[in-house]
Amino acid sequence: MLVNETKPFRELCRENGIAVTHQRQVLYETMKTMHGHPSPEEVYARVKKKVPAISLATVYKNIHIFVESGVFREVSLHHGSVRVEMNGEPHHHVVCSKCRKITDIGEKELGLGAKRSRLPGGFLVERYAVDVIGVCAKCQKSDC
């Protein structure tokens, strides 16, 4: 599903079996406004301004709930800390091996053709996630 700009938070929670809490709503609304692929620590820094009593553990727990329910998607399971995806459009990622910045890249830009729903051995594809690993322009110019 990923972020749905038109659905009220309560309806989104009801459809995904998530209990509605004030902290979750603030977390969700904050994450919707964040660009890129924020880490839980980045989300925590923003949410703490609105809900001073929230803990980093609560942010991690609720991000996990949102990911498990399909409201958000976890990006790149093997690049260090958890990163969260709010972009529901088909795309992949360019990851800098030095600064760890993750940037979206379209399928056309990668030259990807038609997708198959089944792979050899009967493997049923749920989604494709391509990570292009390299060094970003900024890191090429400096010591990141």
29 located within any domain:
yes
| Judgement on whether residues 67 and 98 belong to the same structural domain of the protein | no
118 lies in which domain range?
Answer: 89-141
CA distances from 69 to 24, 39, 64, 127 (A): 13, 18, 9, 16
pLDDT reported for residue 1: 45
Q: How far apart are the first and last CA of the chain?
A: 35
24 located within any domain:
yes
Position with higher pLDDT, 49 vs 74: 49
107-136 pLDDT per residue, tens: 788 777 667 777 888 888 877 778 888 899
Number of domains within the chain? 2
4 located within any domain:
no
pLDDT reported for residue 114: 65
| Judgement on whether residues 69 and 122 belong to the same structural domain of the protein | no
Residue with tokens 């991000």: 63
Look over the chain and give the mean of its residue pLDDT values, rounded to a whole number. Answer: 83
Domain of 100, CATH number, reads 3.30.1490.190
Q: What is the 3-state secondary structure (H, E, C) of 82-127?
A: CEEECCCCCCEEEEECCCCCEEEECHHHHCCCCCCCEEHHHEECCC
1 located within any domain:
no
> Please, is 140 exposed, middle or buried when counting C-beta atoms within 10 Å of its C-beta (0-12, 13-18, 19+)?
exposed
51-63 pLDDT per residue, tens: 999 999 999 999 9
Of 38, 54, 83, the domain-final residue: 83
| Judgement on whether residues 74 and 95 belong to the same structural domain of the protein | no
Of 55, 83, 111, the domain-final residue: 83
Q: Which residue from 30, 27, 35 is spatially nearest to 58, judged by alpha carbons?
A: 27
Domain of 77, CATH number, reads 1.10.10.10
